[in-house]
Structure 1
């Protein structure tokens, strides 16, 4: 279908970010834009708590969202998007508040370390350390360690997928559900139809040159793209927790996200891919102004809630 009229003015804002001269300037622009989003919406929840999670070489911040004062709630680790270069717990505060409220879960938003200051696989290691931290402190957080999900958008979707694979490989199987919102799952540069069609289109919010730039910031060497921890599409996808994969019609990453869901199913795992017509990469962040963004986030919350029902 045609580009949704609600996303057209948003698209101009998103495309303006791609001309940033440096990672630091890009981060400044995104943080400034996110303040406008946060001011545009109110998502009441019981409490938020900022914490520090120990990781190799130091600690990272996280923000914990409590939808109500109760024990034994499910937990969701949320990894923000931003090409592994920008984004923070602040830029995704409005998303995590709504996700916590609607999924009735304690959401832990993880401020993993960013490239180029911290190259691959630092973000992966931070993301996995956060999972272990939540599981180890379930009593302290008031969550059920047997009901943990991971979720993320774009680069954060990559981290959620990789954490699920690492968790399966460890044999612990802490993760019971994954929600991947227009995830990056293949950094090798092998083209798909959607990448060819929308990577250079005027309607794209994620031009190919920006994706290439993100890869150069994140990876130390091009061959690292073939590591499953960078490109989870290359991993064995059997025995993984059920996944909801959200894609956007005009997104260069659309086909690789849908292929990921298909490969999961072909490997014996459960997965559902839902494509949002007329939408571009990043549309969920703009849910205060875009109906489809709100619908996608509400779907994610419903999927988490149903996927983490008490046994």
Structure 2
């Protein structure tokens, strides 16, 4: 399918507003936050309560934002990990996603502000993400959530963290996670190319280019060999005994093939996984849901999958 007209228009606008390549990480972060502000403002869907909290983590604490869709007890609980290449993003840039997810899934959502690279190298984000899961399970009742109905979700780098947290949770024996929603997740940081990486990462108008992926990896990983750690590349892990996964992918995303392969490897190992590939879409399209119809459809699919899996009453 051709590139969706809504996406084509937005990509043109983003290219025109591109930040100079020599900009610092701090300048790039500010630019990303400014790009997200209109999206967040356009979709500030109401929820019963939001609360910013501090979550204990190794070496200190991290911020998280809790979204409560309605005053009730026994609601499902979703840990959401934002995207941004492990370098960009925060609870503010993904506020619109978490609000809609809370409403549509009828679930308490905890948006995790894990520490970012390059200031905090791998595996800091992983440790923060897992600490947030443990904290949320222990404090679920405070927000009207059921610690027996926990899902993890995330987009891009956040999808990586959701997948890795599911593996760590299985290995711990606690099995807190009952569902995972992986939105165009990064699951292979080894640099081994797939057809979609070659075809779409090298395209002149690529939304996520080969150079960008290499730059993100350099910022995040402390050493090149860290790419082969299953906490960085979960596709290398044993994928048996994992909670059911919904993997959302985009047709024109360099990560599409590895996302489909991850779901295939889950199924081959005996775990359940479903893939939904959105035609005409690029990496990052769910964040654009206020302006892109398919983004809203994908987010609502994620919510419906969580609601169905966790049997909201």
TM-score by length of 2: 0.97
Q: Does 1:9 align with 2:19?
A: no
The count of residues paired between Structure 1 and Structure 2 equals 311
Runs of 4+ in 1 over 4 A off after TM superposition: none
Unaligned runs of 5+ in 2: none
Match of 2:143 in 1: 141
Residue 24 (1) aligns with residue 26 (2): yes
> Superposed, which structure 2 residues align to 1:153-164 within 5 Å?
153-164=155-166
Confirm or deny: 8 A CA contact 1:14 1:205 kept in the other structure: no
Q: 1:188 aligns with which of 164, 178, 190?
A: 190
Q: Which moved more, 1:187-196 or 1:30-39?
A: 30-39
**Residues 73-222 of structure 1 mapped to structure 2, 5 A cutoff:** 73-222=75-224
Counterparts in 2 of 1:169 and 1:147: CA distance versus 1, 3 Å: same
1:253-297 C-alpha deviation (Å, 9 max, x unpaired): 000011000000000000000000000000000000100000000
> Are the counterparts in 2 of residues 78 and 107 from structure 1 also a CA contact under 8 Å?
yes
Contact 1:245–1:272 (CA under 8 A) maintained in structure 2: yes
Q: Aligned with 1:179: secondary structure?
A: strand
- Distance change (3 Å), C-alpha of 1:199 and 1:38: same
Secondary structure (helix, strand or coil) at the match of 1:157 reads: helix
Residue pair 1:20, 1:26 contacting (<8 A) in 2 also: no
Root-mean-square deviation (CA, aligned residues, Å) is: 1.2
Note the alpha carbon deviations across 1:196-243, whole angstroms, 9 max, x for none: 000111342101001000000000110000000000000000000000
* Cα distance in structure 2, aligned partners of 1:232 and 1:127: 14
1:149/1:176 contact within 8 Å kept? yes
Shift of 1:33: 1.2
Specify every segment of 5 or more residues in structure 1 that has no aligned partner in the other structure, as ranges: none
TM-score w.r.t. the length of structure 1 is 0.98
Preserved CA contact (<8 Å) 2:3 2:280: yes
Residue in 1 that maps onto 2:263: 261
Match of residue 62, structure 1, among 64, 77, 81: 64
Tell me how far 1:310 sits from its aligned partner.
5.8
